[in-house]
Copies of this chain bind each other. A is one copy, B any other.
Amino acid sequence: MKCKRCRRAEAAVDLPSHHAAFCPDCFFLFFRRQVTEGIRKLRLLAPGDRVLVCVSGGKDSLVLWDVLMDEGYETEGLFIDLGIDGYSDRSKEKVLAYAASRGKTPIVVELAKEGIPIPEAARCVRMQECSVCGTVKRYFFNRVAAEGKFTVVATGHNLDDETARLLGNLLHWQRGHLARQHPLLPGEEGGLVRKVKPLWRVSEVETAAYGFLKGIDYVTEECPMSEDATSLVYKEALSRIEDRMPGTRIVFYQGFLDPSNPLRKGPEAAPIPEEAPMADALRVTDVEAEGDTGTPRACAACGAPTYTETCSFCRLKERIRKARSMRTARGSR
């Protein structure tokens, strides 16, 4: 089959949801246009932005970084080493190799050095790993952004991620979460940085094809902690629908984002989703949790923005400290 755009080269990527098939070069154009259109439509980024791109080593975030650099944005990469045996090392390796190939050195935060490697932290506080991970990531997104004078943080969530999250929120009618789910979370005075998801219009398959054809080497394994994540169940269910009815995902998400949708407030009106009470955080598996409303103040312990006395990151650290000292006390008895 010939490419639907140039009609010369052999098509390499079949896109039933767009009734199209492209050769690699035309697909690159198509993909980048999808991303830039997604940025333009929702005004995710402005020309003067300094963008902190959160890179996990997976395809989505590396492809995001790649496209943003190619589009001329000023970017730096942030890699958070979660301290997950083997997986974190392999991920870091891919991030460093990719960054080096583009003449970059990513900012690296090592959770083991910070005293909160995810597996041990989750065990200590008896929480789902994904919840702990979300709390910790949100904290470092804001902290690194503030330290490095970044104006915005970008994550690699794609259309499949966003629609899986939307489906989960709808199945349980999580009205607060629905009101705030959006590819743009505006920043706020006091250290809450703006967060954007520029890949919201492109699917997982499209992102994987882009990474593969561009020769970007990424970790293909899923995080071993997220194996049972409910979002995977929703993603699979939507995949089956998409296979039978191509284009359903983008119609679903764009219809949801429509400003007339009574389930959503506009991003302007939405309270900043940031600091979630721990109990609430247990129910979300994405990097944002739903938060309290009002204006953030400084955490009494660390000065980070929070809606409570101390921020959830400090409360998490405190719980881990207590759990460790109890264990030590038991051990020395």
Q: Does A240 contact B (CB under 8 A)?
A: yes
Mostly, the A contact residues are: helix
The proximity string for A residues 164-192 relative to B, scoring 1 for CB distances below 8 Å and 0 otherwise, is 00000011110000000000000000000
Kindly state the separation between the CA atoms of A189 and B170 in the bound complex, as whole angstroms.
Answer: 36
| Complex contact A172–B251 (CB within 8 A) | yes
Interface range, A side: 20 to 34
Q: Does A293 contact B (CB under 8 A)?
A: no
Q: Does A37 contact B (CB under 8 A)?
A: no
**Count of this chain's copies in the oligomeric assembly:** 2
A interface vs B, CB < 8 Å? Answer: 170-173, 230, 233-234, 236-238, 240-241, 244-245, 248, 251-252, 255-256, 258, 261-263
Instruction: Determine which residue in A172, A173, A241 has the highest number of CB atoms from chain B within 10 A of its CB, and name it.
Output: A173
The 9 closest A-B pairs by CB, nearest first: A173-B255, A262-B262, A237-B237, A171-B252, A233-B244, A237-B241, A237-B240, A171-B248, A233-B241
- Least distance between A159 CB and chain B CB atoms (Å): 13
Q: Residues of B contacting A252 with CB < 8 Å?
A: 170-173
| Complex contact B240–A173 (CB within 8 A) | no
Kindly state the separation between the CA atoms of A202 and B234 in the bound complex, as whole angstroms.
Answer: 23
Kindly state the separation between the CA atoms of A287 and B148 in the bound complex, as whole angstroms.
Answer: 60
- Least distance between A172 CB and chain B CB atoms (Å): 6
